[in-house]
Structure 1
Amino acid sequence: MFKLAGLSLAALTLSAAAHADVDLKLGSTERVTRLFAYPNNCSVICFRDWTLEQTVTHYLSQSVQRDGYPDAKVLVKTDNDQLYAEITGVPKGYEKPLAALLDAGDLAYTGASKLNADGKWAFNWYLFLPLGMALENRKSVELLHFPPDYSLTQAQDYLRSNTTDRWADLLTDNGIPADQTPAYQTIIDIAPIAAPANAGKDLEGTYDYFKDYQTTMVKQVSQNASGTVLPMVAFGAPVRNWIKQQYGPTVSVLGLATISPSAGVKVPVLGSNHPSYIWYVADPESYTGDDAQAKADAAGLKVMGQDLSAACWQAGMGSKPGSDPKTLLNSCTQTWQVTQKVKTCELFYTSIRHSTAVQAAATCATPPIKAQLQQLKAPLPESAVPAPHI
């Protein structure tokens, strides 16, 4: 092998590939303004008084960081009413998934425009695409309902919400380093609408308007840059129902299915509770009777076991592509609902009840709770009011 200054030609070639410059024409000012929900957070006074170029730079910088390119640089500029992005320190071809996301965003905008023309758009909704997530080094996909409005208006971060934060914690409980969880959380919301967190029921009639966007996104992210099929988790009843409507199979909580977003591609999908569901079922006010607290604890423990099992499957399938989905799921449920049920209990009390580790350990050692832990796979107690639309 030819050497130059102590480096092999292969090493130099690899280094050059790892630090290629990519350029992408984002489109007209009008297009970029609507696809990046610009301005993100202005109402006379802007929470962050950013230009359009600064806003785009912000989201693209999030993506390169989450893809594992900490030294990458993003430059966004406008020329003759057209915006261009130049990204250095990323591999050649890095712009392709970004271009695909924006093209899908055009479909979302068309759907939202039709929704508004039909008088079904609410005054406090925002079109919000899944910006700022990993574009290349994706490990798994999360199918969710809609992003909460504060992720856009306050955080300007699609992965900043109580829902995504809780699930990231569950992934770390299953061995994924905290700084790597964004690679597992490529999100597709069936309603690309940032809305108040309690707006789930109001969004029921919107899904069909975004069918082209939804199916295009699922097709695009079902494989990573190297062609590896990515596992998907379907969170919450609306999303699980959408899977059945769009692709055919019924997906229950901790139920497995296979969908085919494009010819020859078979994607494993696991049904899960919505990450926020536990806060509802574990709320004593959701139950009646003197034993409301006990019912809430029992339900919370069961959902915690289910959620940890789902995150375990997601972590395992994402870190070891090609694993057998059913075998892994059996292993995960055995771990969190049988072998490590005490750990499941302690995580419930520290993360949901906000107990200290010592308090949680003491609570989980009491006879009533130990008895409940023998029933982790039993049906949930019936609540006094209907479950939220999540």
Structure 2
Amino acid sequence: MHKTALACLGAFAFSGAAMADAQIILGDAQRVARLFAFPNNCHVICYRDWSLEQTVEHYLTQSVRRDGYATAKVQVSRANEQVRASISEVPADYALPLQRLLDNGELAYQGAMQLNKDGKWSYDWYLFLPLGMALHNRRSIELLHFPPDYSLTQAQDYLRSNTTDRWAELLTYNGVDASQTPAYQTIIDIAPIAAPASAGDALTGTYGYFKDYQLRMVKDMTLQSAEQALPMVAFGAPVRSWVQQQYGPQVEVLGLVSISPQAGMQVPVLGANHPSAIWYAANKDSHGGDQDAADAAGLKMMGQDLTAACWQAGMGRNPAANPNMTLQACSNKWQVTQKKQTCELFFRSVRKYTPEQAAAKCNSGPVNRTLRDLRKPIEAAPKAL
């Protein structure tokens, strides 16, 4: 499991940035409470009995750590009915991306209120913005469906989920240090709703309520600077379909397209499986109880996932790199020249084999037949994630 909450990412701090104390007026208590999902986990007994100020400090501290400002200090207070944040030892303009996030959050709140007025809001949903993300030194953007409820109610960490943990692991297989994966995992969810993991189908009808929020977030978050857009990975069938609906190009798994969230800026977008889809694809119950077929489907998906994570890692390190050449190199690596390693990583991370067991399995007959061509399409998609 990767350590996300307070990972030290000093290598990402811009060496030339002027450091200062950022003073940020977040708004009145009512606004801050709704944008920071406060109280995060209270019914009668609070799992964490934090005040509003403590909750905001928690998420802002996550952000400054993930941005690489290891010595920055966050203090939140109230004065004249306004909630204020003071953040030391960060760039002078650090308040700007945070203010944009919260302003965009107002659009999400308006969408959620209308959703509720129309009788489509569920009692076990929570409005949850992508709090605690890297705000200033992002490396890449991950476009996902919705955050699981326990990321809010239990972890109070947007990056603490089985989905994000697995993808962070794939990034480390592609040369990203485990302490640095949060900078690559700045997430935009097309449904900013923390919900049970089984709620995917129910959320399908909510997307239109958040269109203004979605488009503004993609525009703001993919632009790290005026000169260079950040790469984005679109995870899962609902998200890839959303990209096509909003921007035009069809996005397949390992399909590379370019979108223009604003005039004059092109953002490279790679289609990928949902990080959790492999658990369905590799389940023998999805293949009539045939374990060999389940292993074959899992291996092919593992090759696709490693390829996508490789592209994200490469483009995140160098956004000016050629997206097509980077994808070609990554595909060749994980699906051709190093497919035995792909196989072993699948059996170790998904099947939980020991390294010795994985190596032996990857030398067996049925697996070797699958490895002959990992680029063949997966025959059965057990579930659209």
Which residue of structure 1 aligns with residue 7 of structure 2? none
Does the alignment pair 1:335 with 2:310?
no
Contact 1:282 1:300 in 2 (8 A): yes
The 5-angstrom pairing of residues 186-225 of structure 1 reads: 186-225=186-225
Residues 1:366 and 1:16: Cα distance change in structure 2 (over 3 Å):
closer
1:280-301: CA deviation from partner (whole Å, max 9, x where unpaired)? 0001111115xx1111100000
* Secondary structure of the structure 2 residue equivalent to 1:200: helix
Alignment match of 1:317 (pick from 315, 318, 342) = 315
Percent identity over the alignment is 64
- Partner Cα distance (2:321, 2:270) in 1: 14
Shift of 1:16: 10
CA deviation after TM superposition for structure 1 residue 198, in Å: 1.0
Partner residue, 1:72: 72
Displacement after TM superposition at 1:193 (Å): 0.2
Q: Could you tell me how far 1:227 is from its partner in structure 2? A: 4.0
Q: Contact between 1:298 and 1:381, CA under 8 Å: does it hold in 2? A: no
**Corresponding letter in the other structure for 1:142:** E
What is the correspondence of 1:33-44 to structure 2 with a 5 Å cutoff?
A: 33-44=33-44
Among residues 361, 374, 377, which one is paired with 1:376 in the alignment?
Answer: 374
For residues 22 and 378 of structure 2, the distance between their equivalents in structure 1, rounded to whole angstroms, comes to 51
* Secondary structure of 1:268's aligned partner: strand
In the alignment, the residues of structure 2 paired with residue 90 and residue 226 of structure 1 have an alpha-carbon distance, to the nearest angstrom, of: 20
Query: CA separation in 2, counterparts of 1:16 and 1:321?
Result: 19
Query: Residue deviations 1:344-388, cap 9 Å, x none?
Result: 0000001000011111111111122111111311121336xx514
Q: TM-score, normalised by structure 1?
A: 0.93
8 Å Cα contact 1:253-1:273 kept in structure 2: yes
Name the CA distance, whole Å, in 1 between partners of 2:54 and 2:227: 32
**Structure 2: distance between partners of 1:353 and 1:309:** 20
Residues 136, 225 of structure 1: 8 Å contact kept: no
* 1:320 shift after superposition: 1.1
Match for residue 159 of structure 2?
159
Unmatched tracts of structure 1, length 5 or more: 1-13
Does residue 296 of the first structure (1) align with residue 294 of the second (2)? Answer: yes
Q: Match of 1:121, SS?
A: coil
Unaligned stretches of 5+ residues in structure 2: 1-13
Deviation of 1:160 after TM superposition, in Å, equals 0.5
- Give the aligned partner of residue 240 of structure 2: 240
- The one-letter amino acid of 2:187's match is I
Count of residue correspondences: 372
Q: Please report how far the alpha carbon of residue 321 of structure 1 lies from its aligned counterpart in structure 2 after TM superposition.
A: 1.6
TM-score by length of 2: 0.95
SS in 2 for 1:347: helix
Equivalents in 1 of 2:346, 2:153: separation in Å?
A: 30
